[in-house]
Structures are given as C-alpha cells and as structure tokens.
Amino acid sequence: MHNSVKNLLLIKDQIEKYNSNIDIIAVSKTFNQNDIMPLVEFGHMHFGENKVQEAQDKWPKIKMQNNNINLHMIGKLQTNKVKFAVKLFDYIHSVDNIKLAKKIAEEQKKINRDLKIFIQINIGNEEQKSGINKSELKEFYLKCSKEYRLNIIGLMCLPPSNKNSVLYFKEMEELNKFIGLKKLSMGMSADYLDAIKYGSSHIRIGSKIFGSRN
C-alpha cells in the first residue's frame, strides 16, 4: 500500500472518533500525477489545488477518467482565471469579494454548471490575508445567494498561524449557525482535529497525506 494511502487511512481512523461524515481534501499542490494516482486508484474523491494553472496541467485527464472526483479550489482566485476555474473545479473555497462572486455567477451560467461555494472569512482581521470582514457577512451572503444565485454551502477560514486556532474555529461555527449554513471548510494538517470539534465538514490536508513538499 502506498504511503499516501496509509496516511489517509490513519487520518480517517482519527476523525472517526469525532465525526465520520467529514470530507478530507487531499491538497495536491506541487505534487505531480505520480503522487496523486495512488489515492485516485484507492478511490479517494476529494482533492484540492491552490492555483488554476497548476490544476489545468494535472487534472483534466484524471477527471475525465474518474468522474467521481471532486476538485476543490482552495487558493485565492483571480477574476481573470474564473472562466477556467469554473470548467475544472467542483468547489470554490475562497469567494471573498463581490467582483469575484459576480464573475463566477456569469461564467458558470454560460456552461450550465452549479459549483459549490464557500465564503472566505478573514477571521483574524489580518491585513495580509484574503476574506471578508465578519461584520459584512450577512449582506455579502444575501447578495451572493439571492442576487447572483450562487450555491453557497458554507464558510471557510485560515486562522492566524501564531495564535490558538480553537478560538477562531469556535467563532466560525457561531457565524455559520448565524447565517444558517451547514458546511465549514477549516482545519489543516496541524489543527484538523480541533476544527472537527467545532463543526468542520471539510478539512484540507496536504503534507500529512503526501509528505513534505520540495
């Protein structure tokens, strides 16, 4: 059994104690098809990429041959890449401004697709990070869902790296309940168990599955 499959099964065993209904997104950025295929052949369905161009280089053929795969855009999405992203990805985790939301709505309508969308929250109010301000969430959600008809399924965050993530996960859980959404994209290799305790439905795991990046 390939190491990445062993690592995935260990993570599944860990999270079973808390919630078996978690989507583990294997973050395959910087890893090539030889690294990815053991997981695909094992039957894993959820993979994440940070860049549209890199995903275009790796995934079209794999997805064509494995139509059960769900590809997640978890990095910052530029509006000039939306038309390519909408064709390839099934989920977008990083919607954080009106211009981007409108562009996604326009492009997916052209090709009759309905992507699953997470709104990214700048939960730590960090200047260097993307995401909408918590105070703008309700207005932003209503505009995305009612005016642009986007399929908003939940919220996403990247907590400050030098602080206790649990405090931010708890706040995200409360924000999600306030809006009335059921999905949360939060938790990575270092903190996914804490994220699950606070309602995360999608955890984004890279190095803990694939190993260290070059």
Percentage of the chain modeled with pLDDT above 90: 81
User: Mean pLDDT, to the nearest integer, of 18-30?
Assistant: 89
The reply to whether the predicted model has a pTM over 0.85 is yes
What the block records as the tokens of 98 is 């009106």
Does the pLDDT value for residue 17 go beyond 90? no
Other CB atoms within 10 A of residue 44 CB: 21
Residue 90: the pLDDT is 98
8 A C-beta contact, residue 81 and residue 108: no
Average pLDDT, the chain: 93
Higher pLDDT, residue 129 or 46: 46
pLDDT of res. 41: 94
CA distance 193 to 202: 11
pLDDT of residue 121 exceeding 70, the answer is yes
34-56 confidence digits (pLDDT tens):
899 999 999 999 999 999 999 99
Beta strands in the chain (DSSP E): 23-27, 46-49, 70-73, 91-95, 116-121, 151-157, 183-185, 202-205
For 159-196, the pLDDT digits (tens) are 888 778 899 999 999 999 999 999 999 999 889 999 99
- In this predicted structure, the answer to whether residue 21 has a pLDDT above a threshold of 90 is no
Does residue 116 have a pLDDT over 70? yes
The partner residues of 73 in beta bridges, in order of sequence, read: 49, 92
The pLDDT score that the predictor gives to residue 214 is 62
Reply yes or no on whether the pLDDT at 24 is more than 70.
yes
Q: How far apart are CA 61 and CA 84, in angstroms?
A: 15
Write down the pLDDT at residue 152. Answer: 97
pLDDT at 162: 75
| pLDDT interval class at 20 (50, 70, 90) | confident
Domains of the chain: 3-210 (3.20.20.10)
Question: What is the C-alpha to C-alpha distance for residues 128 and 65, in angstroms, rounded to an integer?
Answer: 39
Interatomic CA distance for residues 52 and 179, integer angstroms: 29
